[in-house]
Structure 1
Amino acid sequence: MKTNRRDFLKKAGLAGITLTGSGILGCKPQTGDSNGSAAAQANGKDWRKDPRWRQVKYGDWSGPGVPSGPGPMDHVLLKDYAPRSSVVAEKTTISKARYPVIDAHIHHYPGQGGHDDPEQALADWVTTMDEVGIEQSVVLTGATGDEFDDLVQMYLELYPDRFQLYCGVESSGIEQSDYPDRAVVELERCYKQGARGIGEVTDKGFGITRDRNLSPENRLHPDDDRLDAFWKRAGELNLPVNIHIADHPSAWEAPDVFQERTPIFQQFNQHGGEGLSYEELLPLLPSTLRKHPNTTFIACHLANLGNDLGRLAGMLDEHDNLYVDISARDYEVGRQPRGAAKFMSDYQDRVLFGTDMGMDQGMYQAWWRLLESDDEHMTGRVWWRYYGLDLPDSVLEALYRGNAQRIMNWETI
């Protein structure tokens, strides 16, 4: 029987997971649940007796090493848990990147909520870019038609030397026989308007239209034959494609005591959903790459394989037309600094810098500290602590700007 995702998350009650004095993750009963929810029932389990839980919790240490029992932390909610570290560690302040930077992954942030005057927000953003060392930013609009034209007017007419725009994929009438031709025509039109790439093209299990009402056989996945002419034309026009396949693997894991990411990410959870699974989605990328070897694809977020850099390395070895960006995967590189630094050194000609995290000055500077310093035990945004990669100059230059300059389309309009 299929489970409604919203009902599942409500029953799982991930935001209600509590921390007990013994470090056990239990589930706090929800107020007013007279019938006893799944969360309330789970609260009665003594996880200390579960061998799998002990292995995940303590690894080879076998246990906490101290007597454990109930205490005042039993009702601290996981979503509220923000431990202050007692570690005294060096903090390097890096106000401006060591080399000029091309941010290969941003979105139309001035047009999002909270900005009464988008043009002023854009002007303020350019000032921030100057202060932190961002030379140019690539706006992944995902837009076509009038929406794309409006963004051209806003970005390229006001700041032609500071922004590059990517367009989207025409997605109306994908079931019609003329769809492939219409998609190509709109791509060519956007190119003439100023598009210098395509993206962010996203498939998290329901195809690139993200239409959950489509039957599985009608969904438009990146390797669908209906997109062959589109990807071919993109290659001919030298338009790189920023592509987002799947998501962090934890999004398909149950939101329970074993869930890797904290409750802020439960909005992305697809466990028990009707879309493709993580392992079903990942092959779509190499399938698309094989069909279109003359088109450049930039798999954003480390191709959602930042948790398995060996697997990602194998994919890069197999496909010369594949590149990756590190946008919004600070936590992946920050929690495995030696492995990530080696990967970024070994594949220094294939990795691009990107943020995908807004316009805040502090955000950019946190990236510089992560990539350029050897600081330890840094506060991260996903609960995990980060450790600086201390990347050498040659890797930083390629990551920050060199690779983007080499593979992107910099033709003037």
Structure 2
Amino acid sequence: MRIRSGLLAVTAAAALVGAAPSPTSYTEADFARVAKLDAHVHANRDAPDFGQVARRDGFELLSINVDYPDFPPLARQAEIAYKDHAADPKHFHFATTFSMDGFGTPQWTAQAEHAVDEGFAHGAVAVKVWKNIGMIAKDASGRRVFLDDPRFDPVMRHIQARGVPLIAHQGEPKNCWLPLDKMTTDNDRTYFSEHPEYYMFKHPEEPSYERLMAVRDRFVARHPKLAFDGAHMASLEWSVDELAAFLDRFPNAVVDLAARMSQVQVQSNANHAKVREFFVKYQDRLMYGTDLTDSPPDPAARAQNPPTTGDFAKEADETWRSDWRYLATPLSQPIAAIKADAPGLALPREVIDKIYYRNARRFFHLDG
């Protein structure tokens, strides 16, 4: 759902950074022909558009069902995922989830396990837990629920026994705890302005960023054999150093890049070599994702992060091409979210192939 204003105006005359493209790097012309997988999207509309633009641009999709009030109900998300996967199992994959309704009641564990088993029966390759755990959800007695709550353990053991990874969106960008004028990206300013219930700067009584990250780390440490995908760069998007430390500490963890590319670009504009070295060093632990969301039109819908434009196919194509230009080539481009140009990282082809395709295929057991 991201859009960079002025992206279409970028031409071959855009500034190059450093040397000309190396034979070891891809070019913009390689974009559509290279196999790619967007490991974090949301297909919430029963329509062919998402699949069509994905196939045209050389993408497989991993659509993630999530218990998010701005999305269709979970049953409707599941219905769409089952249909799309059955129609094109080679290109459309999905993650299932469970509801937090009734957490803490005697029947909740069985309900959650039944929900994920239903997803597995229809081809789900992962299970998603969302930021409502830690930021919103309460148990039957009215107490806030955190992911390291031992009442989750039976469900997590159930998922691990099936050999299925967990995708966890815990916390939010660190910008969420900052005043608007201190945030590093405009997309975060817009999203949190329109979602005040998630804007933690306005809720000092709520858990701190540091507490939510500590909870997540305790959870990962307690489940060392559970394959763990930290969605949105594990909410450590603000610092490649912090993310490196997380990956070093937890060998069972990977992260996706969904909806956090602009925060990475802020860092690479400050220290290009450092960010490039991070991507090269952790090339086996990073998966490309966007958070692109194709939802039914709703004139009352609030801003999303990344934002919607009203023309989903155009939006998806521009987002994918912009990210490719940044990660795969040395070319510079204007990034509206940071009000600056961002020179590309020109990652080696073998690194791009892992981040864009091979890591997700391996992690989600898509290769058999």
Task: Check whether TM > 0.5.
Answer: yes
Mark the CA change 1:216 to 1:247 in structure 2 (over 3 Å): closer, same or farther: farther
CA distance in 1 between counterparts of 2:78 and 2:140 reads: 32
CA distance in 2 between counterparts of 1:364 and 1:196 reads: 23
Q: How does 1:6-405 map to 2 (within 5 A)?
A: 89-90=14-15, 93-94=28-29, 96-97=31-32, 99-109=34-44, 111=45, 118-119=46-47, 122=48, 124-134=49-59, 136-142=60-66, 146-147=75-76, 149-199=78-128, 201-203=129-131, 207=133, 210-211=136-137, 218-255=143-180, 257-262=181-186, 263-265=189-191, 266-268=193-195, 269-273=199-203, 274-335=205-266, 336=268, 337-358=272-293, 359=313, 360-405=316-361
Residue type at the aligned position of 1:272: K
Contact map agreement 1:296 1:322 (CA 8 A) in 2: yes
Deviations 1:19-71 (A, max 9, x none): xxxxxxxxxxxxxxxxxxxxxxxxxxxxxxxxxxxxxxxxxxxxxxxxxxxxx
Mark the CA change 1:276 to 1:98 in structure 2 (over 3 Å): closer, same or farther: farther
CA distance in 2 between counterparts of 1:209 and 1:312 reads: 21
CA distance in 2 between counterparts of 1:297 and 1:151 reads: 25
Structure 1 segments of 4+ aligned residues over 4 angstroms from their partners: 91-95, 213-217
CA distance in 2 between counterparts of 1:389 and 1:333 reads: 11
Mark the CA change 1:361 to 1:376 in structure 2 (over 3 Å): closer, same or farther: closer
Q: Which segments of 5 or more consecutive residues in structure 1 lack a partner in the other structure?
A: 1-80, 112-117
Contact map agreement 1:242 1:298 (CA 8 A) in 2: yes
Root-mean-square deviation (Å): 2.9
Give TM-score, length-normalised by structure 1.
Answer: 0.69
CA distance in 1 between counterparts of 2:184 and 2:78 reads: 41
Deviations 1:206-231 (A, max 9, x none): 526834x7799722221111110111
Q: Which segments of 5 or more consecutive residues in structure 2 lack a partner in the other structure?
A: 17-26, 68-72, 294-312
Q: Aligned pairs, how many?
A: 313
Displacement of 1:97 after TM fit?
Answer: 4.6
Displacement of 1:93 after TM fit?
Answer: 4.5
CA distance in 2 between counterparts of 1:171 and 1:394 reads: 40
CA distance in 2 between counterparts of 1:309 and 1:250 reads: 15
Residue type at the aligned position of 1:210: I
CA distance in 2 between counterparts of 1:329 and 1:149 reads: 26
Residue 22 of structure 2 is matched in structure 1 by none
Q: Which of structures 1 and 2 has the larger relative contact order (alpha carbons within 8 angstroms, sep 6+)?
A: 2
CA distance in 2 between counterparts of 1:297 and 1:160 reads: 23
Give TM-score, length-normalised by structure 2.
Answer: 0.77
Percent identity over the alignment is 21
CA distance in 1 between counterparts of 2:260 and 2:78 reads: 31
Larger radius of gyration: 1
Deviations 1:331-385 (A, max 9, x none): 1222314222211111111101111134521111111111111123533434243
Contact map agreement 1:252 1:278 (CA 8 A) in 2: yes
CA distance in 1 between counterparts of 2:108 and 2:55 reads: 42
CA distance in 1 between counterparts of 2:241 and 2:253 reads: 15
Mark the CA change 1:316 to 1:217 in structure 2 (over 3 Å): closer, same or farther: farther
Residue type at the aligned position of 2:150: D
